[in-house]
C-alpha cells in the first residue's frame, strides 16, 4: 500500500490489532502482579520490623525483671565452663 506521500506503509491487519491487544493485556497483568508483590514485600517488612522491635524491647526488660525477682524458692545456676553448672540457693533456710 502506498500512502499520499509516495512511501510504502503496511496495512493494519487483524493479527496486528490482536497482537497489540495481547501486549497491552500482558503489560497490565505484569503491572498488577508487580503491585501485588510490592504490597506483599512491604507487609513482610512491616511484620519483620514489629517482631524485631518486640525482641529488642523484651531484651531490654530482661535484666530489670531478673533483679526484681525475690522469690526464695528460686535456685540460681551459673555456667562454670562447658556443660558444668553450679547451683546456688537450694541450701537456704
Is 41's pLDDT higher than 70?
yes
Cell of 92: 537456704
Count of domains for the chain: 1
Strands (E), the chain: 76-81, 84-88
The answer to the question of residue 7 being in a domain is no
| pLDDT value of residue 52 | 95
Cell of 76: 540460681
The answer to the question of residue 1 being in a domain is no
| pLDDT value of residue 30 | 98
The answer to the question of residue 69 being in a domain is yes
Distances (CA, A) of 39 to 34, 46, 53, 54, 71: 9, 11, 21, 23, 49
pLDDT band at 48 (very low <50, low <70, confident <90, very high): very high
The answer to the question of residue 5 being in a domain is no
Give the residue with greater pLDDT, 65 vs 93: 65
pLDDT band at 3 (very low <50, low <70, confident <90, very high): low
Q: Is the pTM of this model over 0.85?
A: no
User: For residue 31, what are the domain limits?
Assistant: 14-88
Annotate 40-49 with b (16+ C-beta within 10 A) or e (fewer). eeeeeeeeee
Amino acid at each position: 500500500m502506498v500512502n499520499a506521500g509516495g512511501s510504502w506503509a503496511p496495512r493494519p491487519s487483524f493479527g496486528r490489532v490482536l497482537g497489540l491487544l495481547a501486549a497491552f493485556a500482558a503489560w497490565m497483568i505484569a503491572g498488577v502482579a508487580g503491585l501485588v508483590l510490592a504490597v506483599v514485600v512491604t507487609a513482610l517488612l512491616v511484620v519483620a520490623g514489629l517482631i524485631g522491635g518486640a525482641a529488642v524491647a523484651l531484651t531490654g526488660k530482661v535484666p530489670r525483671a531478673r533483679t526484681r525477682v525475690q522469690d526464695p524458692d528460686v535456685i540460681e545456676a551459673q555456667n562454670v565452663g562447658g556443660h558444668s553448672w553450679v547451683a546456688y540457693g537450694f541450701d537456704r533456710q
